[in-house]
Structure 1
């Protein structure tokens, strides 16, 4: 069931991205990093680096040595890794594949990840500032002057694919480019559908 759901979601994502004009040559499922043993080997390498310590049953990474505000839990007391450890494993693999410049485009709600991942890869010998990050603010969709809340129960959610179908690919791309990544974007559906010069697309 899980594999079927993941496959269907990936197909939908690929279809939407293709319609938008984007194509990814390679993508990773996080689960593959566990299946291939990359997360486990990364944890072992960090242990060997001397940059981790045990406290209260958990394994901590000395991220403060690389500019973080406090050290971070790498492996919880129940033995499960925190979310940044597979990120470190992924980027070590990316570096090993020859990608010595990497730019991660993520939502601004992932800002806490930056220092942890960069500290992790530095502890394993990669240069400071790898990978680079571009953090995007969230997009708010409005209709009739009100925010469209993402509520399945109310039936008011709108997917990226539905957005492109409703207003068109070119208009969608234009609206997303109207703000810098660190600027808040209000995607006004009524304005996007307007055929007059009120719509910035036609100015």
Structure 2
């Protein structure tokens, strides 16, 4: 599994209905994309528990070839044409698990980026993060959870999709506008160390 996200921060007065319409009319285009485990079309709106307006889709790839085909193809070029070329963040997968509400349509996502400090043992930090990921997957309303790792910046990515507003868990909250999941069943389950 490979996790990927780009964040497009929009002006404070930006009409987020433009993004909602974009996803409503184009989101289905990736519903059958080869190599895509899932793509959560995520937004945050300024003033609604967020300091910014943001379009920030998050992808879990079942195959790196799919990710490369997307980034070098017409789908991502459409994003570049409309918003400029965003920095694409990428993490290697450590854990994926279907949640207690795996059959539900997610409405909310929580993403948390956690720095592994210089004084921490990376293996111990990952083990603690794996425990948290397993616990979240078992929580009522959890649709799916993923944990990934960027060794260049020594960062962990925690990501959970929720059927409803989640319990108090740390991280940035997003509204899920659409979920494309053509190869969700091909995402490796469990520990991927």
Q: TM-score, normalised by structure 2?
A: 0.24
Report which structure shows greater RCO (CA 8 Å, sep ≥6): 2
Q: Which has the higher strand share?
A: 2
Higher-helix-fraction structure: 1
